[in-house]
Amino acid sequence: MTARERVLAAIEFTGPDRCPVHHYIFPGGIWRHGQKLLDLTEKYPDDFGNVCIKRNIQPQEEGQDAEDVVEWTDVWGTVWRRLRGYTSGEVLRPAIPDWDAWKTYELPPPPDERHYEQFAADVKRRHPEEFVTGSFGGFFQLMQAMREPTNFYVDLAEDHEGLHELADALVERNLYSTERYLKAGVDCMSIGDDLGGQDRMLIHPEVWRRFFKPRYAKMFQMARDAGVHVWFHCDGWILEIIEDLIEIGVTVLNPQHPCMGTRRIGEICGGRICIRTDIDRQWVIPYGTPEDCVEAVKEAIEVFGNFNGGVILHGEVGQEVPFENIEAMYAACYEYGKYPLEWLG
């Protein structure tokens, strides 16, 4: 099978030859382990061209201490800061500090048509060997950053008119891009929004259903009407809205299933929706043994992938993860992910 055929077969439950694999390594992991880690990803390549790794090969600037603070402004006008060498940052100054600022704020324009023309040419070059994904754009997390988290949650609590206006503006901008990615011939459209904390959602499920669900549905419907899959990444606890996500068209879900219970999520999703796994990156991958990593991979295959497909294997690697655990996890994906899953008996 080609990588594209394998991924589609897993999503559509039509019998891949093995479970597809998807790597993600934060820059800190690459900086810690260097070339031997890159060599390992070539020994156990993923089914997406290792693109997530290639994006993160950005060595620290020479002469800069890892404790230095880095500040930058994103395209939306939000100023961020983080420790150099770390993996993410925090909002220092939001793009929309108050709703008076919204009156004169202008969203950055989407990419011009040359971007989409080049993307379409790239899709044509990569098909039929590679599975190609387009991006819906930012939404929940983007608004949270643009308003600053505290302001954002107050806005939701007050059901502020300005937040509705911002959300609708982002949806329309995302639909503009989605239409062009669909015309380019993508296999899937994706979005990543972290909606959960460790043991509950960041907002009440009913607030999510009232404010966010219909807007996500509008974006996802455009993709599903075109026969294209919808990939939703979401860290944290989202147990209460998984059925909602399936209802509005998500066909690939990447939940942080260990915090909710892997088998519990399997009872809801198994055989219904493809799961891109999140092998426990809080405890097992960084602090467990290689044997623990192998068992976590086997559990994910058993729970999500024993349906003639249904699973894309993934375990996120940060800078604190021992090399031996990464190697054990990747090797297990290949050893135990072959169909038929004879080791399950």
pLDDT digits (tens, 9 = 90+) for 229-284: 999 999 999 999 999 999 999 999 999 999 999 999 999 999 999 999 999 999 99
pLDDT digits (tens, 9 = 90+) for 147-167: 999 999 999 999 999 999 999
Smallest CA-to-CA distance from 251 within 228, 217, 234 is with: 228
* Range name among 3-12, 87-96, 251-260, 336-345 with the lowest pLDDT average: 87-96
* Range name among 34-43, 61-70, 269-278 with the lowest pLDDT average: 61-70
Angle between helices 140-147 and 161-184 (to 10 degrees): 140
Q: 182, 190 in Cβ contact below 8 A?
A: no
Under the banding of pLDDT at 50, 70 and 90, the label for residue 56 is confident
Torsion of CA 219, 141, 70, 78, to 10 degrees: 80
Give Cα separations from 108 to 72, 114, 170, 189, 216 (angstroms): 16, 17, 10, 21, 21
pLDDT digits (tens, 9 = 90+) for 214-228: 999 999 999 999 999
Amino acid at 261: G
Q: 214, 166 in Cβ contact below 8 A?
A: no
- Name the pTM for this structure: 0.94
Amino acid at 132: V
> Domains in the chain, please, with CATH?
3-63+94-344 (3.20.20.210)
- Output b/e per residue, 61-94; b: 16+ Cβ within 10 A: eeeeeeeeeeeeebebbbebeeeebbeebebeeb
